Amino acid sequence: MAFQNTVASTPYNTIKLPDTLSVKGARFEGRGYEHFRNIFMQPGMLSQAAGSAYVEFGNTKIMAGVYGPRESDRREAFSNTGRLQCDVKLATLATRQRGRFGQSDQEREMSAALVSALSGAVRRETFPKASVDVYAVVLEADGGELAVAATAAALALADAGIELSDLVSACNVSRVDGQLLLDPSAGEARRQDGSAMMAMMPATNLVTHLELTGTWSAAQATEVLQLCMGGCLQLDLAMRASLRQTAPG
């Protein structure tokens, strides 16, 4: 249950660790199978945005900004619920290989998944006709970008004072050589033969988004879902602590 604490954020990693899974119950960064990487979160980083958050899981670093509720830029038919729009952008400098300019399929897919992960929590009936725009920029990608983006976006929404039925936290689990690894880095995820990504609202105990790949036996599927839920619960506590700390007064 040990949660690795960091005092400061992780500096940019210039030398990547080798892509092998460590032996004897510990993983490369010296953490256990059910441990997160170093986690750093800070709401309220952007002065221009209504709300924002910067979140790191190890070397995966994401900045999320929330704008609105504001007048929708697209004219639409009248609706009594607001619109939630999400855009995930992978910075060209985020990966080892320089990224291409323009929206990629991966970004489009992640944006759609982020909408699905958040729309269960955002109370859209509280801002009729208006739209809330969530922008998440991946500054460095080292596995679990969508989970980190969902966590950062939920923090940013809470920071913006937008009504949420609960905070959303999200985490990944990979299966490598039959072993379940919580919060895999990109190197570990490359060797996976099955994976799970879950976004949930721990206080109300509802899952908003779930992605499961690979072949799972019923027993192992239960195990992986429980591991995800435990991970989300830990993140939720950390998110609450960070919101409490940045509260003025």
Contact between 7 and other proteins (CB under 8 A)? yes
CB half-sphere exposure, 33, CA atoms < 13 A: 14
Rg of the chain taking only CA atoms, in angstroms: 18
Q: Least distance from C-beta 8 to other proteins, angstroms?
A: 9
Contact between 134 and other proteins (CB under 8 A)? no
- Closer Cβ to other proteins, 183 or 236, answer by number: 236
76 token code pair? 């639409």
Contact between 2 and other proteins (CB under 8 A)? no
Which span sits near other proteins by CB under 8 A: 1-9, 83-91, 170-178, 219-227? 1-9
- Out of 5, 14, 97, 217, the only residue in the binding site for other proteins (CB under 8 A) is 5
Gap between the Cα atoms of 149 and 114, Å rounded: 8
Spell out the residues 6+ positions from residue 169 whose beta carbon is closer than 8 angstroms to its own: 150, 151, 154, 199, 200, 202, 232, 233, 235, 236, 239
- Out of 110, 118, 160, 182, the only residue in the binding site for other proteins (CB under 8 A) is 160
Which span sits near other proteins by CB under 8 A: 91-99, 162-170, 171-179, 183-191? 162-170
Alpha helices in 56-129 (DSSP H): 105-119
Name the phi and psi angles at 191, rounded to 5: -95, 5
Q: Maximum CA pair distance of the chain?
A: 60
- Out of 10, 42, 151, 195, the only residue in the binding site for other proteins (CB under 8 A) is 42
Which chain residues interact with other proteins by CB under 8 A? 3, 5-7, 39-42, 50-51, 68-71, 78, 123, 127-130, 158-167, 201-204, 236, 238-249
